[in-house]
A and B are shown apart, each in its own frame.
Chain A
Amino acid sequence: MCEVCAIFGAGEHWSDFSRLRNERYPFDDIMHYRRERARRLEILNSVLVSRELRCADWDGEALSLHDHAGRFAVAPTLSDVWPLVQKMSGTAFDPLAEDRVEVADG
């Protein structure tokens, strides 16, 4: 956590450890993880577009999902996104199934 601004900035999920963290001076790491999150959200949204779901940042660490009906849910970590996607869109996102990715890509 950044002790100046009290923003955690780096989660504790396995996907949040791409850098060896500098616990004492976490500022660079926080900036790095913010960029990673932005990139992840961008890709996730392009995957979810065919399901009419949107994903957004939630408080710097979690992710939120919205659908066209206005339903809203928070996924504390990346691993919690996929069960929510399944629940809100009715089908699981399966990276092994070709068509899903094709649709998302188009």
Chain B
Amino acid sequence: MDDRLPVLIVTGFLGSGKTTLVQRLLQRIGGEETGVIVNEFGEVAVDNRLYVGMPDDAEIISNGLARKEDISRAFYNIVKRAKADKAKMKRVIFETSGLADPTPVIAVLAEDAWLKANLRLVRVVSAVDAVAGIGSIDTYSETRQQIAVSDLAILTKSDLRAAVDFDAVQLKLRTLVPDLELVDAQSPEFREEELFAEDSRTFPRPAIQEPSASGETSDFQSFVLPITETVDWPLFTLWLSALLFAHGDRIVRVKGLLKTDASRGLLAIHGVQRTMHPPTHMPEKEARPDDCHLVFIVHSIDQASIRSSYQRFVERRFPRAPTASSRFSSIPCN
């Protein structure tokens, strides 16, 4: 039984509705049971005043572009408090600043052994504003980076008159991340507690679509690598770890579903830059092998070189020595 505290990272551009979303989460799921870390932007501590109903003991990182030390100190304080006040704290929310890349937060949670023993990252969600969101994706690389590393996008302000259509926002997001799911915070089906649910299957898995070339933004490129075969896991991990070491700073995101030779279900892998999370297992009955693929979000790497490297490294090389069982099965029956 995993008794580590689940952590939700809430990101989104300046004014995208992150704070409102966090406040709403706190109201609905129990603010007193939730540890909150807020990374606010710069000298203008506006958010401080906006946080009415916010727990007084929220950890505030007031440097808008928080360093890893600041982030881990805030997490340490939260965990210490959780331990002091046994069983009361049930979850943690980290709200990034509007201009910050959530990658260092993800890295801190993956690298620090003590934090890793006490906290587990559940998902990264991006607040996307239904009025200004598409414009901000076009204009600001910060927004694109935030969306690229998110597991789920939450549409905010869809009740405003100037809001654009849900499908238009979703289409725009998919040009960045081909499999990103968008949920509407105003929809009656939106359930806050599900954001903390262990596995991502709580939210429907969207159909993958290749991003259209026209929708590509200049700095990021995303592509889908269909993986139809059963993956030789030791070989695959060698390839991916070597790729991330050599080019991790240009691989914003890699994630996907794989059928491996190690277990019967599917394996969901996900990583942000050089940080890979331990893969999650999907039960066999939910496994549809035709879902298997890898999604890459990269900048200044030619996608063809990753594709051909994968083909070369994983498919053609290093034939597996026949194991005892396969040797038996190759004996002709007659």
Q: Chain A: residues with CB nearer than 8 A to chain B? A: 12, 14-15, 17-20, 32, 36-37, 39-40, 42-44, 46-47, 78-79, 81-83, 92-96, 98, 101, 105
Contact = CB atoms under 8 A, between A and B. Distances in A.
Given A17-B278, A78-B238, A92 B262 contact: no
B246 A36 contact: no
Q: Dominant SS at the A interface?
A: helix
Nearest to B260: A18
B171 interface: no
Given A43-B234, A78-B241, A94-B246, A18 B312 contact: no
Contacts, number: 89
B246 A20 contact: no
Interface string B220-262: 0000000000001111011101111111000000000000101
Contact of A19 (B232, B246, B262): B262
A47 B260 contact: no
Interface in B307-334: 308-309, 312-313, 317-318, 320-321
Nearest to B235: A43
B242 A20 contact: no
B279 interface: yes
A93 B239 CA distance: 10
Instruction: Identify the 9 closest CB pairs spanning chains A and B, nearest first.
Output: A18-B262, A82-B245, A15-B237, A40-B234, A14-B276, A39-B234, A20-B281, A94-B246, A17-B278
Interface of B: 232-235, 237-239, 241-247, 260, 262-263, 265, 267, 269, 271, 274, 276-279, 281, 301, 305-306, 308-309, 312-313, 317-318, 320-321
A6 B215 CA distance: 55
A79 B246 CA distance: 11
Contact of B312 (A20, A78, A101): A101
A76 B243 CA distance: 18
A98 B311 CA distance: 11
A105 B315 CA distance: 13
Contacts of B313: 95, 101
A92 B305 contact: no
A105 B113 CA distance: 37
